Amino acid sequence: TTSAAAAAAMAASAVREGWFAEKEVLWPGQRLALQVEEVLFEGRSALQDVLVFRSSTYGTVLALDGVIQLTERDEFAYQEMITHLPLFAHPAPRRVLIIGGGDGGVLREVCRHPDIVEVIMCEIDPQVCEVAKQFFGSTVATSFGDPRVTLLHEDGAKFLLETKTIFDVIIVDSSDPVGPAETLFQESFMKKAYDRLDPANGILCTQGECVWLHLPLIKEVMESCGHLFPTVNYAYTTIPTYPSGQIGFVVSCRNPRR
């Protein structure tokens, strides 16, 4: 949490002359800017800066550490793809683990599948979930109350190491590999996920960054998955408010025939 003065200073630095401009984190030399109608929330959790504002053209926007995580206008393009690619690729998914995804969008899409009996969600930052419920409760964060859902505020890599549950699908809805999400892109994490997936048909789907900006990182992640999984594929979607308007997904399966 932050004091009122510190929060106001943070918002002032993020929004200048009525515009929010992203920080250049993994895309030096370019950044997206959106016109701001009203700042709805600004604060700092134990892990990151959290900002919510109403934009002129993309609805309500969530930014973490100065980087856009979602807008109401285009979030579906990401949430649907990262969720339904692995769930429809699996012959009969029953148990799903979501790592990250504190805004609730992936959870919303997972809960559309009636045959799923259990969803465990590990979001390391509880403030992201609380802010999502407050400001996106009717659009994105709609399924936190689903009885099939267990929400845990802990590190996803640590959970994978300690849990005995075997999952059909693991979805890693992470932010970029800086700060709290950095470990989610490492091969040691992929090995933990591999070990907790059903050996017959288990599928891991991770956020795969942008082909226009992050080819070395994508290559590294795909090679890490390829050391473990017999089947690894890359998919992508277009989404205007993500860097260069594109983001990908690394989909890995334990079944070599899928």
* H helix runs in the chain, sequence order: 4-14, 75-89, 105-110, 126-135, 156-162, 187-195, 215-226
CA 101 – CA 171 distance, rounded (Å): 9
CB contact set of 229 (below 8 Å; sequence gap of 6+): 194, 204, 252, 253, 254
CA 129 – CA 93 distance, rounded (Å): 25
The DSSP secondary-structure symbol of 167 reads B
Six token digits for residue 218: 């994508």
Q: Which of 103, 173, 176, 195 is catalytic?
A: 173
At 110, give phi and psi (nearest 5°). -60, -40
CA 4 – CA 15 distance, rounded (Å): 16
Stretch (H or E) spanning 41: strand 33-44
CA 76 – CA 247 distance, rounded (Å): 13
Residue 129: helix, strand or coil by DSSP?
helix
**Is 103 designated active site?**
no
- Residue at token pair 């997972």: 110
CA 4 – CA 117 distance, rounded (Å): 42
Catalytic residues: 173
